[in-house]
Amino acid sequence: MSQKPPASPSSTDAPLVPHHVAIIMDGNGRWAKSRGLPRTAGHRKGVEVVRDIVKAAQDIGINTLTLFGFSSENWNRPKDEIHDLMKMLRTYLRSETAELHKSGVRLRVIGDRRAFDPDIVELIENAERLTSENTKLTLVMALGYGGRQDILHAATLLADHVYRENRKLTEDEVNALFPQFLMTAGIPDPDLMIRTSGEIRISNFLIWSCAYTEFVFTDILWPDFTKADLESAVADYAKRDRRFGHIKNVTG
C-alpha cells in the first residue's frame, strides 16, 4: 500500500527557513577520543551544544527542533556509559526545564520510557507538563526511540482499531489514521534532517516521517557544531527544489 505524499507548498512557495529541523547528534565519542578524553567528556560537551542549538533554532525562526538524543539501540552500550548518560539526562532536565519554559520552548519527548528509571520519567513528565502551553519553539527529544519500533507499535494499534471497527479500511483511511498512532503524532514531518560526524545514514530515526525530508550530512562532530553550521545547513535547504515526489513538466 503506497503512502500519498503530504500536502505541501509548491517548490516556489517553499519557505527559506524549514519549519521542522531534525538532527542526529553524532560524534561525541570520536570528539573525546581525538582529544585523549573519556567518552563522557564528549557527551558533556554535546549537552552544552544542545543548549546553544536550541537557542540558535529560535533565533533562525525554526518552529520545531527534534534531537536524536538516545536511540533504542543505545541500551546495548556499556553499562558505565549508559549510567553516565542517564546522569547527564537527569542533570539536563533538572537544570534546563525552567530555562526552556522561560524561553517559551515546549518540550516533548518521544520514545519508549519503560526502560528509564522512574525518577527520569517523572522529570520528563514534569517538564512536558510545565512547558505544554509554550509556542516559540517545540523541542522534541527522542529518548529510547527507534523508528522501526515506532512503526511496529503504530501498526499494532492500527490492527486493534481495525479489529474494533470490524471492517476493512480504505487506503485513504489508513493513510490518515496510521500517523496518529505513531509517537510523533501531532508533530509535523521534518523539512530538513541533519546528521553530524560524517556518517551517511539515518540509523532508524523517524523512518516514517522522513519520507519527503531533505538531508544534510556534515563531517563536523556534534560537540563542534555551531549556530553557523546550523545556518549553513538551512541555507543549503533553501536552495533546494522540493518536489514531494512530483515530476515537473519540462518543455523546450
Strand partners, 71: 145
- Nearest CA-CA partner of 85 in 170, 16, 25, 133: 25
The C-alpha angle 221, 141, 95, rounded to 5 degrees, equals 90
Q: How many residues does the chain have?
A: 252
Which residue out of 74, 126, 134, 204 is catalytically annotated?
74
Which residue out of 13, 26, 76, 166 is catalytically annotated?
26
Catalytic residue check, 236? no
Distance CA 72, CA 110 (A): 11
The dihedrals phi and psi of 151, each to the nearest 5 degrees, come to -65, -40
3 state DSSP class of 12:
helix
- 10 Å CB burial of residue 34 (0-12, 13-18, 19+) is exposed
Catalytic residue check, 134? no
Give the alpha-carbon dihedral of 102, 226, 142, 212, to 10 degrees: 110
Residues classed as catalytic: 26, 74
